[in-house]
Copies of this chain bind each other. A is one copy, B any other.
Amino acid sequence: MNHWLHYYCQSWVFLSIILLHRRAPRAASLDESAMGTITKALELLNFFSASRAHIGLSEFVRLSGRDKATVHRHLVELEANGFLEQNPESRAYRLGPALLRLSAVREAALPMRAVVRPIVTDLAQATGELAHASMLQGAMLSPVCAFDPRRHGTQVSFDQSEMLPLHATSSGLAVLAFGPPDLRAAVLAGRLTPYTPDTPTDPDRLRAAIARTRDEGISRLDQAFDREVSSQGAPIFDARGEAMGALSVAVPSVRATPEKRAAIRDHLIAAARQATLSLGGAFPTT
């Protein structure tokens, strides 16, 4: 559950949400062998999500597969730096206040969320469907913000705390198509995790989808990450003209008529263009 959803549920209305059935394996890091202590500790933070806000020592041990003593020492050290805080009675850990402060520092210098949020909101309002922006972080996408106008009884659920895979989302496809070539190569060479039966797990099929995205300037993916969800994505470019993130609109497949898709497409392209410009990006020359 993401931020605004949490809020809505608490205070007003509980709307029906499309239930998700992902095969969702915990994205394992590619290289378990050579991993520094810092990475091991920081990865603990990734086990938190909107639906799992509190995690105890034992659960961390189970999730991470590491030794209890090690995990405990990492937790203590993270806590000492404000990245975690411990509930003194339940002894469970949750994300700490340092994250708030540091994210505010980043936003002060690079007001990405502030810039992108109105664009996402407008896009969602214009299309009447869930829109979200994500940006590239390593070989995955990190959500920046999302908005759902909630015009309909059924919505696409979007968990802002979850990292998005590149090969199974329309945002990811847009980034693969217009992003760094070596990223494309790395993803095609790596394991393509299936989330639904329709996830493109065959490299050739993914390559074809990327090529089509390059041709059309916009990506489209149906039921590849969530069942019953269709989405389109458009790249946001950085100053060098490489995709650094993407804007996306997701709609329950039942509502995804060709006309609706076309309307979304136009809004999406305009919004992504605006986002690129606002963030000081440049469109690729080739």
Contact = CB atoms under 8 A, between A and B. Distances in A.
Interface of A: 1-3, 6-7, 36-39, 41-43, 45, 48-50, 53-54, 73-74, 77-78, 80-83, 88, 94-114, 135, 137-138, 142-144, 160-161, 163, 240
Contacts of A161: 101, 104-105, 108
Nearest to A36: B77
Contact of A80 (B39, B78, B98): B39
B3 A38 contact: no
Contact of A95 (B94, B106, B111): B106
Given A74-B38, A105-B50, A143-B101, A81 B43 contact: yes
A275 to B, nearest CB: 15
Nearest to A163: B101
Contacts of A99: 99, 102-103, 106
B138 A113 contact: no
A38 B3 CA distance: 29
Contacts of A50: 105, 108-109
Given A100-B106, A100-B144, A101-B142, A77 B2 contact: no
Those 3 A-B pairs whose CB atoms lie nearest each other, nearest first:
A53-B109, A103-B103, A95-B106
A83 B38 CA distance: 11
A50 B41 CA distance: 26
A33 to B, nearest CB: 14
* Most-contacted residue by chain B among A3, A112, A144 (CB, 10 A): A3
25 contacts: A2-B104, A6-B109, A7-B111, A38-B77, A39-B80, A39-B81, A43-B81, A50-B108, A53-B108, A53-B109, A54-B109, A81-B138, A94-B110, A95-B102, A95-B109, A97-B137, A99-B99, A99-B103, A99-B106, A100-B113, A100-B144, A101-B143, A101-B160, A102-B103, A104-B160
